[in-house]
Structure 1
Amino acid sequence: MAGGSKVFSVFMLIFYAILLYFVFADKNMIAMYMMGIGMFGEALVNCIFTFRSKTK
């Protein structure tokens, strides 16, 4: 995921922990927004790392 970025992995772990809190606190609408943003963010970062030049 994300080209092995540890910082991004920790960020997403914290992000999803907050999301889980909102789900258990019955704040479903903000949880859905966060889920959509998180999924899009992961897909975007993975896409960038996939298509980035591997000549480094």
Structure 2
Amino acid sequence: MASSKFSAIFFLILYAVLLYFVFTMQNMVAMYLMAIGMFLEACEGVYCNFFKH
């Protein structure tokens, strides 16, 4: 749920790095990145729904 161009590019880069870690079999780092990415997307959704007018 990218609400701006900056956040869309940020999450694209984050998930590209995540894919790199998955393909190089560094699964724990990939899992940490995935959890961070999901948490940040949820925070962005809450911000957009409750605080942005």
Q: Percent identity?
A: 53
Structure 1 stretches lacking a partner, 5+ long: none
1:2-21 → structure 2 map (5 Å cutoff): 2=2, 4-21=3-20
Return the TM-score normalized by structure 2. Answer: 0.92
Which of the pair has more CA radius of gyration? 1
Please list every run of 5 or more consecutive structure 2 residues that lacks an aligned counterpart in the other structure.
none
4+ aligned runs moved over 2 Å, structure 1? none
TM-score (normalised: structure 1) = 0.88
**What CA RMSD, in Å, does the superposition of the two structures yield over aligned residues?**
1.0
Q: How many residues align?
A: 53
d(CA) in 2 for partners of 1:46, 1:7: 15
| Partner residue, 2:48 | 49
